Structure formats: C-alpha cells, structure tokens
Amino acid sequence: MSRIVADKAIPFLEGVFEPYADVEYLPAEKIDREAVKDADAIIVRTRTICDENLLEGSKVKVVSSATIGTDHIDLKWCGSKGIIVRNAPGCNAGGVMGYVLCALYGVASRKNIDLRRKTVGIIGVGHVGGRVKMALESLGFRTVLCDPPRAAIEGPYEFCTLEELLRQSDIVTLHVPLDDSTRDMAGRVFFKKMKKGAIFINASRGEVVDEAALLEAIPHLGATIIDTWRNEPDINRALLDVVDIATPHIAGYSYQGKQNATAAAVRAVARVLGMSQLYEFYPPKDVPEAESVKLSLLGLSQGEIASMLSYNYPVFTDDFLLRINPGDFERMRKEYRYRREFYLDY
C-alpha cells in the first residue's frame, strides 16, 4: 500500500486517501526528512520547503502543493531526481478578487477616497490578476496591465512596461509569482515612480516587496493594503503599525478556493499513484451557507458598493484581529473560517 504524508492544515483531505493508502497527517513543522523518507507522496502548503534537505534519500515520487505558488519547492532539484511536482494554479483566484475589491472599497470609505474614473495597474495578469481585471472593469475602472512573460508570448499590445504602469495608475495591485524576476520588485525606485497619493495593494508574496522601501514610501501613498509579508509568521511590526489594512495572508482563503486547492492536490497524487477512483475528486459541495453568491453592483454608488462588499466580507475584522495579536499570525491562518466567494453580475 502506498504511503502519503500530508499537512494536517489542508482542509477536506482527511478520509479521502485512506481506502487506498496509508496516510499520516502532520503539522507543517513536523514534515521533516525522517517523516517523509518512506513516503510515496507528500501533500504540502507553502510552509514546507521541499528541497534536497527534505527529500534526499526518500521514496517520494510526487510533491503535491495545495497552493498556487511553487517558490517553496526546488523545482530544478526535484526534476533532476525524477520527482513530479504539482500545484493548484488559479485555485484561489475568486477569493483574492473578492479580497481586493472589499479591501479597496473599504479603505476608500475610511479615507474618503473617490474611486470614480480611477486607473488600476495590475502587475501579473494570470488566473488571479485576470479575475481582478474583469471585476474592476465591470465596475468602471480603467485598467493597465504589466506581465512581461505574457507580453513575450502574446505580444506587447495589451501590456505596458512597469514604468508606464506606475506612471498612469491611481491604484497598483500585485499578483505575481515569487521568482528571481519578481523578488524585491517593489523597491525604492518602484515607489518613487508611483503617483503621489496612489493606493498600493500586495496580495501576492511578501518577498516581492522591499518593506524598508515601502515604509519610506507610505507617507506619500494614499493607502496601503498588505496581506502577504516577508518572514511570515514573524512579520514586520513597524510596517503593520502604519499600513491601512493588514491581514495574515488570507486573501485567497475562500471556501471554494480551498476546495479547488485540495481537489487539485488529491487529483495530482491520485494520477501519479494510479488511484483511478480519485482522478476526478472534488470535496463535497453540500454546504449551503458556504455557497458562492452573485452580487449585482452595476449602477450603485460607491458607498452602496462598499456596504454590500463589507457585508459579504468584513475585511476590517481580519485587520483588527491581526493588529491586536500579530504573534498569532500562523494560528489565524490555520484556524481561519473560510469565507464564501462572491461573483459579480456583469
């Protein structure tokens, strides 16, 4: 029988593999070399670094991450050892889109910022950035896009340079993966090129932002919304004190997003290990209170939109909980009550 080691914080997973495999659920910090040495598969989150230190000498055939990113996995090393790596691209796109809208309208209400006729610069236009683009445009925002990998493949016509995006944008939102091209991308030069009074949002990866540079820039920005941080869970308290919205890396923590992520992780392992009964697995959907809802926002005033969004996701509750006890960052993530997604009636 195959053996699987899984992060116990991944929802909807317990009981799924048990008819076909020996499964051990562990906290992320307990998934070490000893734990995985006899495993055929591991199912992880971003908190488990999957590299030579963890996997050398193990039987692991597949690393399946219930996340959109793979920056916690040494892809080159795994490839050299024949270890298959799978992730869950786009799983949390709906959740992050909802977070961006709720945080944007929430902070605009608190700071009396008029969002009419504003231009939003979206950096990274993949699954998540694409959903953000569609939602914002449906609400009347103009968007400008920067995505060098897509521009290289599709041509530059839909995209602009980073410098041009920063020059035009009243709101800048990051939706990029973490790699060598994006690490520390938002640094001193980046913030100097932003418009004075612009809104800055990071719901991608903490290491994309030079936090010292952001601290210097905040007095010149209109508002700052931060969900992802460097050195999580030991986050920068000085930055926490001065941003307008601070949340514990939960922008994508919707019920549907977690279902999507677990489904992708299970299917990947099932296909590698030949468990055909789980090739099309998806967690149960019969939870009425968690079903996604359609919001009709067209024609409403900014205040009315803000009120409806706040009702569906009161982002300032998460902000308050993090501020009163930032040391609980990791616990808040592990015990987060997944919110239901909403979609817009375009």
Neighbours of 321 (CB within 10 A): 15
Tell me the angle at which helices 315-324 and 93-111 cross, rounded to the nearest 10 degrees.
80
Give domain 93-251+296-344's CATH architecture.
3-Layer(aba) Sandwich (3.40)
Whole-number Å distance between alpha carbons of 341 and 329: 22
Bridge partners of 120? 143, 171
Helix, coil or strand: residue 130: helix
CATH topology of domain 2-87: Rossmann fold (3.40.50)
Whole-number Å distance between alpha carbons of 226 and 120: 16
Question: Residue ranges per domain, the chain?
Answer: 2-87, 93-251+296-344
Task: List the catalytic residue out of 164, 232, 271, 330.
Answer: 232
Bridge partners of 220? none
Per-residue pLDDT of the chain (346 residues; tens, 9 = 90+): 899 999 999 999 999 999 999 999 999 999 999 999 999 999 999 999 999 999 999 999 999 999 998 999 999 999 999 999 999 999 999 999 999 999 999 999 999 999 999 999 999 999 999 999 999 999 999 999 999 999 999 988 899 999 999 999 999 999 999 999 999 999 999 999 999 999 999 999 999 999 999 999 999 999 999 999 999 999 999 999 999 999 999 999 999 999 999 999 999 999 999 999 999 999 988 777 778 999 999 899 999 999 999 999 999 999 999 999 999 999 999 999 999 999 998 6
Which residues are CB-neighbours of 286 under 8 A, at least 6 positions away? none
DSSP secondary structure, 208-231, as one string = GB-HHHHHHHGGGSSEEEE---TT
Task: List the catalytic residue out of 3, 45, 47, 249.
Answer: 249
Q: Which pairing describes strands 171-174 and 142-146: parallel, antiparallel, or unpaired? A: unpaired
* Domain pair 2-87 / 93-251+296-344, same fold: yes
Catalytic (active site) residue 289? no
Which residues are CB-neighbours of 203 under 8 A, at least 6 positions away? 96, 99, 100, 173, 174, 175, 225, 227, 228, 251, 252
The phi-psi region of residue 57 (left if phi > 0; otherwise alpha if psi is between -120 and 50; otherwise beta) is: left
Catalytic (active site) residue 205? yes
Task: List the catalytic residue out of 45, 131, 205, 333.
Answer: 205
**Predicted model pTM:** 0.93
Whole-number Å distance between alpha carbons of 34 and 55: 9
Distance of CA 185 to the CA centre of its chain: 17
Catalytic (active site) residue 72? no
